[in-house]
Amino acid sequence: MAVSPQRPLVAVLCLLLYFLRSGLSVPDPRQREALMKLEASMQTGGQVVLTDAEQRLDALLFKMKQEEIRKADFPPSMHFFQARHLIDSSPIFSLMQKMPKGGALHVHDLSMVSVDWLVKNVTYRPNCYMCCTDNRSIRFIFSSRWPKALPRCSAWTLLENLRAKTVNVTDLDNSIEGNLTLFTHQDPESVYPSQDVVWDRFEQGFLALWGLVTYAPVFRDYYHEGLTQFYADNVMYLELRALLPEIYELDGSFHDTAFTLKTYQEVTTRFTDQHPDFFGARIIFTINRGVNLSVMVRAVEEAMKLQRDFPDFMAGFDMVGREDSGRPLWFFREALSLPAERGVTLPFFFHAGETDLEGTDVDQNLLDALLFNTSRIGHGFALLRHPVARDMSRKRGVAVEVCPISNQVTKLVKDLRNHPAAALMSEDHPMVISSDDPAMFGSSGLSHDFYEAFVGFGGLSSHLGTLKQLAMNSIRYSSLSPPQQEKALALWQRRWDKFISENTR
């Protein structure tokens, strides 16, 4: 028997009459429908029109997400260290890996390559020395002669000799690896009980990496390997925040900052020649926010000089290190206003609002970053608590670089369904997804962070249009010139179409 299409409508009307008679009023379902549609259209990707093939993939993604949410261990609600193996076996994650994600706009130089490669490749090279600090961290140096002792560090040992004497080399290599990353198989809550402990281990990890990565031959290979890993994760462009350290040679001599930048540029060119569907990379020069004003003035002057000498490759300037313990942007106002005073262009890409300490000097960084005309905001975790800054960021198209896993590991948010970017995404606030320090967190490229954003704070309302928009945002909000953006977007679109057709058969 055929069911009349009128039936549901009749039922609704009867129900309405019933409630009207009983004195209650049910809101108009058509109005409800219209409001829901309006909200859905306001979110990131809400205006993206999907092709038939895209709609098929979107339906598949929706089904996968529903299944994921039903699981007892829902990865975004867990600490990433404990969720990683679950994510790695998720079919959504496997799609995230294959998806062309555009550019990675917030990644740091010393944490772009998996530590596994550092241990297996770099620490096995000849002339590599190691010492243990008095609080159980380690330091490295490559040297043609026995290196001079460091304060508060045991005597240097040649790793080659140490390995020859060690009964279980796997154990030794694991302990080295453990020093270079925060990732652990133990309970993350007990290993990292507070933000202070995380940041301390973070800083010790960077000091351990320093001597390995800033050795000239390693430096080239490291960066090339980093590009290789991001490329393998289907990232086609990179804006790297780089300290531009002075690179050293085996005889202990050092090169200058320009040499470091030139090396980055040469390796990038070589890589894009080898991989024509990789668009390239640009550098954001960074300095630790713990320095004093005179050091900052010199750094800004150096940045202006580099910006002039490498206009196509330098993207701008930023500060790194923990915001809560470093100096606020306002402290450096005289240094940061130098470019404007001298009529020199030096774009800023400030980290700001990577804090949960509301109302402190550091909490003002968001507003100050915008007052200094920042091009993007790194993290912007506190943006929701600053309506004026949020409004300025939106109106000026200053994108927020959201790094979900980083924020969770540094204990700003526990359950990634509760990340503040959920609110930003619901109103299509300018934003991109990035990974900050993937090697430190044991994540790879951008895919793990895309997974957390899409499945975690994206919830069931984010869809393929959201992902498409986020990928396009990463080009639109990059430091590339408009014509370069057009080129990058065309390249991305070709890769995207291929991805859709390969996954909708």
Nearer to ligand NAG, 335 or 425 (CB): 335
429 is a catalytic site residue: no
Output the CA torsion sign for 376, 378, 379, 381.
negative
The catalytically annotated residue of 379, 386, 419, 448 is: 379
Q: On the CB side of 148, how many CA atoms lie within 13 Å of its CA?
A: 3
Distance CA 208, CA 446 (A): 24
Tokens of residue 401, six digits: 């670089």
- Where in 355-384 is the site for ligand NAG (CB under 6 A)? 372-373
Q: Which of 58, 68, 221, 363 binds ligand NAG (CB under 6 A)?
A: 221
Q: What's the distance, Cα to Cα, between the start and end of the chain in Å?
A: 36
Three-state SS annotation for 411-454: CCCCCHHHCCHHHHHHCCCCEEECCECHHHHCCCCCHHHHHHHH
Provide the CB-side half-sphere exposure for 490 (13 A, CA).
6
Site string for Zn ion, 384-423 (x = CB under 5 A): ----------------------------------------
What is the x/- site pattern for ligand NAG, positions 121-160, by CB under 6 A?
A: x--x-------xx-xx-x-------------x--------
Tokens 């790094």 appear where? 403
Which one, 174 or 501, has the nearer CB to ligand NAG? 174
Is residue 354 part of the annotated active site? The answer reads yes
Rg for the chain, CA atoms, rounded: 25
Residue 65 makes CB contacts below 8 A (sequence gap 6+) with 92, 455, 460
Return phi, psi of residue 376, to 5°: -145, 170
Touching Zn ion, residues 89-118 (CB under 5 A): none
Letters for 422-441 (x = contact with Zn ion by CB under 5 A, - = none) are --------------x-----
Residue 168 binds to ligand NAG (criterion: CB under 6 A): yes
Helix 52-70 crosses helix 464-476 at what angle (to 10 degrees)? 110
Q: What is the maximum span of the chain, computed from C-alpha positions, in angstroms?
A: 95
Minimum distance, C-beta of residue 86 to ligand NAG, in the bound complex (Å):
23
Alpha helices in 275-413 (DSSP H): 293-309, 333-336, 338-341, 365-371, 387-396, 404-409
Give the separation between CA 479 and CA 402, rounded to whole angstroms: 17
Which one of the listed residues 354, 401, 448, 463 is annotated catalytic? 354
**Does 498 participate in binding ligand NAG (rule CB under 6 A)?**
no
From ligand NAG, Zn ion, none, interface partner of 436 (C-beta below 5 to 8 A by class): Zn ion
Q: Which of 31, 89, 194, 294 binds ligand NAG (CB under 6 A)?
A: 294
**8 A C-beta contact, residue 280 and residue 273:** no
What is the Cα–Cα distance from 50 to 201, expressed in whole angstroms? Answer: 45
Which is nearer to ligand NAG, 69 or 132 (by Cβ)?
132
For ligand NAG, the nearest residue by Cβ is 178
Least separation, in Å, of the C-beta of 56 and Zn ion? 37
Closest distance between ligand NAG and the C-beta of residue 126, in Å? 11
| 318 part of the interface to Zn ion, by CB under 5 A | no
Q: Which of 179, 410, 466, 485 binds ligand NAG (CB under 6 A)?
A: 179
Amino acid in position 488:
A
Residues that bind ligand NAG (CB under 6 A): 121, 124, 132-133, 135-136, 138, 152, 168, 170-171, 175, 178-179, 200, 221, 225, 292, 294-295, 337, 340, 372-373
Given the rule CB under 5 A, which residues bind Zn ion?
A: 436
Q: So which residues are the catalytic ones?
A: 354, 379
